[in-house]
Amino acid sequence: MKLDEIKVIRESLLTKVVKLSNKADILKDAQYKSLFEELKIIPKDQKAHFGKELNSLKNELSSIIQRENNLEKENNQPIDVSAPFDDNQNEDSIKLLDQRFGSIHPVSTEIKIITDIFSSIGFKVIESLEIDDDFHMFESLNFATDHPARDDFDTFITVQKDQTNKPYVAPAHTSTMQTRVLSQNRDNLVKNNQDIGYIIPGRVFRNEDVDARHEHTFYQIEGVYLSKKVTVANLLSVLRDFMSSYFNEEIKIKTQPVYFPFTEPSFEFSVNCIYCAQKGCHICSYTGWIEMLGCGMIHPNVLSIAGIDPSKYNGFAFGLGILRFIMIKYGIEDIRHYHSVRLEFLRQFK
Ligand SMILES: [Zn+2]
């Protein structure tokens, strides 16, 4: 091959590559491959010049292929499929919603942190249901049909009815899962002496007027533990150790009695304010204490409904509001931020 022939082949290959739908196919072209065969047999004195020409051609073809790849990537920009339709129609919004800038929602992150702490001390994790029945929402939790405490939960109900002709409900608390985990694990408890320990995160709903402290849709984590000879001291020490792990410092605790139909005795559980060393600040409403959750020993009636003998077994349950925990942990002032889809709020948690 004469040296100037490579120039002709070069032009021919550059014309071919333009027409190819997949530019990388040019690398398989017989004419292109023949140049490398030629390089092996070309006289020594021409080798350097030929090699240089071939190298320059190779680079040019590579950059054409690269340009095509980049263009393909741009055309296949990742978009947020959960975003409103109009946003993804707008070219600027596609850039704004590029998934590379996304992050895990703070509620998901904190659920993971909280469930991990309880998993580390042996609790199993399951999720609660987002539609349940009257039995699990009220009856199995020791609310009689005409129990006034039913009114405390302004519960959303469905048009569809269950087998007992009562409407299904959007659960107002994760306690709906208590009887389920107790009855499902009853045989294992009785036959194998295996304690029941569950941590149950879930989304719950109440017909609330929305303001800085109240949401109609929020998240709870239920804890249920059942064994023999369980005491209030066990309940409080588990919760105190959990709080100390979660807030990463030694926590002081305070309880005061309260009424729940499904636990007896029942407590409001507070921790020392970690922001003001208990001197009083706006987060603790100048009391030095922050109320964190409700808890208590599982009511004997709840155990009986779950088919468990309350004279042999006992245990505790607690329910905590995750949004409240995150608000306290990060000093968030308004509960409405969580569902606001405000990117400047969410990006703080990246
Ligand atoms: Zn304080």
List, as one string, the DSSP characters of 208-253: PPPBTTB-SEEEEEEEEEEESS--HHHHHHHHHHHHHHHHTS---E
Closest residue by Cα to residue 320 from 218, 228, 247, 181: 218
Closest residue by Cα to residue 225 from 118, 124, 315: 315
Residue 186 has pLDDT above 60, yes or no: yes
Instruction: Report the C-alpha gap between 240 and 250 in whole angstroms.
Output: 9
- 240: CA distance to ligand 1 center in Å? 18
Closest residue by Cα to residue 284 from 328, 218, 338, 248: 328
208: amino acid identity, one letter: E
Q: Is there a single domain that holds both residue 15 and residue 157? A: no
pLDDT band at 91 (very low <50, low <70, confident <90, very high): low
- 12: CA distance to ligand 1 center in Å? 78
User: How many C-alpha atoms does 56 have within 13 Å on its Cβ side?
Assistant: 11
Q: Is there a single domain that holds both residue 205 and residue 164? A: yes
From 76, 94, 129, give the residue that closes a domain.
76
Quote the number of domains for the chain.
2
- 199: CA distance to ligand 1 center in Å? 29
Residue 350 has pLDDT above 60, yes or no: yes
Closest residue by Cα to residue 265 from 311, 299, 242, 309: 299
CA dihedral sign, ordered 184, 188, 193, 198: negative
Q: If you average pLDDT over residues 266-289, what whole number do you get? A: 89
* Residue 187: CATH number of its domain: 3.30.930.10
- 241: CA distance to ligand 1 center in Å? 20
Residue 193 has phi, psi (to 5 degrees) of 60, 35
- 279: CA distance to ligand 1 center in Å? 6
Q: Is there a single domain that holds both residue 138 and residue 282? A: yes
Q: Is there a single domain that holds both residue 64 and residue 112? A: no
DSSP-derived secondary structure letter, 265: E
Average pLDDT, the chain: 88
Q: Is 261 a member of any domain? A: yes
- 275: CA distance to ligand 1 center in Å? 5
Residue 324 has pLDDT above 70, yes or no: yes
Q: Is there a single domain that holds both residue 128 and residue 62? A: no
Residue 159 has pLDDT above 70, yes or no: yes
- 113: CA distance to ligand 1 center in Å? 24
Q: Is there a single domain that holds both residue 125 and residue 164? A: yes
Query: Beta-strand (E) ranges in the chain?
Result: 124-125, 156-161, 167-170, 196-205, 217-227, 253-260, 263-272, 289-298, 314-321
Predicted local confidence at residue 78, as pLDDT: 64
Predicted local confidence at residue 348, as pLDDT: 84
Q: Which residues surround ligand 1, an ion (CB under 5 A)?
A: 273, 275-276, 281, 284
pLDDT band at 264 (very low <50, low <70, confident <90, very high): very high
- 223: CA distance to ligand 1 center in Å? 27
Q: Is 90 a member of any domain? A: no
pLDDT band at 220 (very low <50, low <70, confident <90, very high): very high
Enclosing domain of residue 254? 106-349
pLDDT band at 99 (very low <50, low <70, confident <90, very high): low
The more confident residue out of 238 and 330 is 238
Q: Is 96 a member of any domain? A: no
Q: Is there a single domain that holds both residue 143 and residue 241? A: yes
